[in-house]
Amino acid sequence: MTVRRRIGLSLRVDPVACDAYGYCAELFPERVTVDEWGYPIVDGTPVEPELADLAARAVADCPRRALRLYEVVVDG
Amino acid sequence: MTATVTTPERVLVGVRGEDESSMDLDRHLAAHGPLVAPDGDARWGAWVHRAVAESGLLGRGGAGFPSAGKWEAGRMASRRPVLVVNALEGEPASAKDRVLLLRCPHLVLDGAEAVAAAVRASEILLCVPDHSWAVAASLEAALTERRRAGLSGRRVAVRRPPGRYVTGEESALTDWLGGGPGRPMMRMDKSVPLRMARRAALVHNVETLAHVALIARRGPEWFRQLGTPDAPGSTLVTVTGAGSGPVVLEVELGTPVSQILRWGRFEDPPSAVLLGGYGGTWLEGSRLDTPYAPAPLASVGATMGVGVVVGLPATSCGIAETARIARYLAGESAGQCGPCVFGLPAIAGDLELLSSGRPDPSALERVAGRTSAVDGRGACRHPDGLTRLVRSALRVFAADASSHALGRPCSGHISPTVLPLPPGSDPRGDAS
């Protein structure tokens, strides 16, 4: 029997919704940088628990609601 | 040694002769025999499902995903889905789907009926681009014949979405069918079935269905008699670049690329070959002995895509040709995602400057940086197609690219263009 284990949260951007306000990169530079046109480049590696509040703040403050946190789940 | 080599004839049986007319129902039945009566026979649908799964058929719409994998129970069983036949064929260098629909529409319709039985589809929608009047007429005529012959019990209709490059992307197509603007959807999880308004939709490419029609008649063992264990069967390719128009051929998977070029009437050795489509890859002229199948092509960084094979004459510039395609693809963006809207024109501009031979030592670094910056950041795979093409161009034409960046253009950037583009969309003007 496999056990599904939650290993953390991962940040993703919906590129259709995103309008390059850039708040996310200011609020959460640990995972978000911007390209030369101002659009976010999101590092999708799991967010450490100590950074979870920052990630949640970046998600909540996006004017376009384009940023989302997903649970990363693995078998084992 | 054999004196004459011929391409296999499976889906193209009876359609390669001088006669360019469409095969009517009588000729179709004479060539292929009847399909087992498909009227609501659930056991027949289950048999088709098993046969196609065992045949190992890979979808011919570009992604090369196992066709029956799209039908798996968990994803489709809960409702009666709509079967969407994707005949958009937005690739400018591809003509295979058009040839199938013009010359043997009944084979494609048989395949659609077989898939519809396998997934218990309530309805079949044949999606033909708005500018393809001849294809729509061919399908309508075939549907009329089938109705008269009492062949189709299911609802089948022709729909005419806008014939833009990106409309052929399956989520853009189902968006349009559901009353939306026809733009790709952001899909975080691709295993969730597509929706057309509130109904589940299954999308298949035209050529895939032609193979299904034959597997439904002859079984999986027959299908596997050609091709490789990983990629069984035959496949259609569109060969361009020989000076004459595109040639559509049926070839066995695993045939060397060089042989496909010869069958496509491309006589002089090309300096490189574009494979897959405009979101595909360049293959070096020194690697044309590579078998045409997904695994061997992947090992040399190439892809089969939608079966496009364009030979680049030695007098042409691969960087200049790639720049034309990049500009075209930039213009075909659905305009939804920033990295695509801004990144693609920037990359096209970089390649145009590079091919002009204006000295710019940082040009190569800049285009490579932008290419990786854009990669994977759209809602759909449109930008990824361009980055795949540009990366392969920078690898295959590396010597030319460095020499152009140092201020040495080649004559190729003013020689006649090779890669075909739709009328009105060639940045260097329409070819005469």
ipTM of the complex: 0.88
Distance CA B240, CA B310 (A): 5
Distance CA B33, CA B109 (A): 14
pLDDT at A69: 92
Q: What is the pTM of this model?
A: 0.89
Q: Which of A19, A32, A35, A62 to mutate to test the interface with B (most CBs of B within 10 A)?
A: A35
Closest CB from B370, B373, B378 relative to A15: B378
Q: What is the mean pLDDT of chain A?
A: 90
Burial of residue B16 (number of CB atoms within 10 Å: 0-12, 13-18, 19+): middle
Cβ–Cβ below 8 Å for B188 and A35: no
Helix, strand and coil content of chain A, in percent to the nearest 5, comes to: 25, 35, 40
Q: Nearest residue of B to residue A39 by CA position?
A: B338
Our CA-based measurement puts residue A10 at a distance from the nearest CA of chain B, in whole angstroms, of: 13
Length of chain A, please? Answer: 76
Task: Kindly write down the DSSP assignment for every residue of B241-277, as one continuous string.
Answer: -SSS--EEEEEETT-BHHHHHHHTT--SPPSEEEEES
pLDDT at B77: 53
Q: Nearest residue of B to residue A12 by CA position?
A: B188
* CA atoms within 13 Å, Cβ hemisphere of A5: 7
Tokens, residue B305? 């895509």
Given a contact cutoff of 8 angstroms between Cβ atoms, the answer to whether B95 and B13 are in contact is no
Distance CA A31, CA A23 (A): 12
pLDDT at B43: 85
Distance CA A4, CA B278 (A): 41
Given a contact cutoff of 8 angstroms between Cβ atoms, the answer to whether B347 and B367 are in contact is yes
Given a contact cutoff of 8 angstroms between Cβ atoms, the answer to whether B106 and B25 are in contact is yes
- CA-nearest of B279, B261, B281, B259 to B270 is B261
pLDDT at B40: 57
Cβ–Cβ below 8 Å for A70 and B342: no
* CA atoms within 13 Å, Cβ hemisphere of B265: 11
The residues with which B310 forms a beta bridge, in sequence order, are: B240, B274
pLDDT at B243: 66
B345 touches chain A (CB under 8 A): no
From residue B251, alpha-carbon distances to B236, B373, B422 in Å are: 6, 37, 26
Reduced to 3 states, what is the DSSP secondary structure of residue B163? coil
For chain B, 432 residues long, the average pLDDT of each consecutive 10-residue run is 61 74 91 75 86 96 88 66 94 94 96 93 95 95 94 89 89 91 78 80 96 96 96 95 80 96 84 94 96 96 94 91 94 92 96 90 93 91 94 95 90 76 74 46
pLDDT at B277: 93
A·B CB contacts under 8 A: 39
Cβ neighbors of B310 (< 8 A, separation 6 or more) are: B93, B239, B240, B241, B273, B274, B418, B419
Given a contact cutoff of 8 angstroms between Cβ atoms, the answer to whether B142 and B356 are in contact is no
A15 touches chain B (CB under 8 A): yes
Within the 56-75 window of chain A, which residues sit less than 8 Å (CB to CB) from chain B? 70
Cβ–Cβ below 8 Å for A15 and B337: yes
Alpha carbon B287 to chain centroid distance? 22
pLDDT at B242: 62
DSSP B187: -
Reduced to 3 states, what is the DSSP secondary structure of residue A69? strand
Strand residue runs (E) in B281-337: 281-284, 308-312
B181 touches chain A (CB under 8 A): no
Distance CA B112, CA B95 (A): 20
pLDDT at B144: 95
Alpha carbon B398 to chain centroid distance? 27
Length of chain B, please? Answer: 432
Q: Which of A37, A42, A62 to mutate to test the interface with B (most CBs of B within 10 A)?
A: A37
> What Rg, from alpha-carbon coordinates, does chain B have?
22
Cβ–Cβ below 8 Å for A20 and B338: yes
Cβ–Cβ below 8 Å for A38 and B337: no
Q: Report how many helices (DSSP H) and strands (DSSP E) chain B contains, helices first.
A: 15, 10
Reduced to 3 states, what is the DSSP secondary structure of residue B189? coil
Strands B82-86 and B123-127: parallel
